[in-house]
Structure 1
Amino acid sequence: MYTIRKATLEDLGILLDFEQGLIKAERPMDPTIKEGEISYYDIGAFIMADDTEVVVAEFEGNIVASGYARIKGDRHYLKHDQQGYLGFMFVTEEHRGKGLNKLIIEQLVKWCRGRAIYEIRLDVYEDNIQAIKAYEKAGFKKHMITMRLDANDH
């Protein structure tokens, strides 16, 4: 049914489309995102990097979901030195609600464990209830809330 595999540079076109879909979905939840054409990631560099794993889900030969794990250093006062940071979690509309996010997360966590990284984190918008539920199903727990103030409004 679904196949999870490592992304290649040949996948870059569809992954760039996914990135724009992600930006479009997140703009209404984040007034700080610039208008116009933007990019969150250098996906090609992520695909080639040793400290990042980009994976895709395929259905009948078509890429329908994506995600990445990136190993990054963490704050000196924490119990762990590094964390696996997950991002670029995107599932095409017609394949949402079918457990793809969980399959991708399982693959990325497996990749992190293989590199002795056991602290796994991600960011999600508070208003993205559907994503929060998916992450909770995959075992994530809410940990910290980021708050912001636009001083121009006060």
Structure 2
Amino acid sequence: MITTRKATLEDLPVLLEFEQEIIKAERPFDVTLKEEKISYYDIKAMILADDIEVIVVVDNDMPVSSGYASIVTPKKYFKFDKFAYLGFMYTSPSHRGRGINKIVVQALFDWIKSKKIHEVRLDVYTENIGAIKAYEKAGFKKNLLNMRVDLRNIL
């Protein structure tokens, strides 16, 4: 049976594996990532934080998907005083194509709404078409494109 719940420290070994799978999937989209083993998140601190909700989807007590929402204070020029940032979105290959990402996003949306926050943002690589389509299905719209240049490649 598939259910969602707040992540616990007991989930940490599996969540650390999820993180490495995310990095592996994103390496082709970002040539600036170091080649050695890296980490994006302090997952233990995220699980313990009051202003971050780490969600896992479990199938027969085994985590198969993850995501987090963190409460962020924006720059002063925005109309809102708080927003939620989503990340750490991962679903095991065996459970993809079954609407699991939508379950994660909805669970995070519910937590965000319980905090009386209405603005939600996330980052996704422009070439990650599958992720973009999944987020658009969840109601996200493209907002800003982050660009880069390596000046060693400019004559």
Q: Same fold (TM over 0.5)?
A: yes
Give the gaps of 5 or more residues in structure 2: none
Give the gaps of 5 or more residues in structure 1: none
Where do 4+ consecutive residues of structure 1 move more than 2 Å? none
**Please, which moves more after superposition, 1-10 or 45-54?**
1-10
Structure 1 equivalent of residue 94 of structure 2: 94
Structure 1 equivalent of residue 8 of structure 2: 8
Q: What do residues 89-117 of structure 1 show as CA deviations (whole Å, max 9, x unaligned)? A: 00011111111111111111111111111
Structure 1 equivalent of residue 65 of structure 2: 65
Q: Distance in 2 between matches of 1:41 and 1:124?
A: 16
Q: How much has 1:8 moved relative to structure 2?
A: 0.2
Q: How many residues align?
A: 154
Structure 1 equivalent of residue 145 of structure 2: 145
Q: What do residues 22-45 of structure 1 show as CA deviations (whole Å, max 9, x unaligned)? A: 000001100111110110000000
Q: How much has 1:80 moved relative to structure 2?
A: 0.5
Q: Distance in 2 between matches of 1:137 and 1:7?
A: 25
Matches within 5 A, 1:17-96: 17-96=17-96
Q: How much has 1:62 moved relative to structure 2?
A: 1.3
Structure 2 equivalent of residue 128 of structure 1: 128
Q: Distance in 2 between matches of 1:127 and 1:91?
A: 19
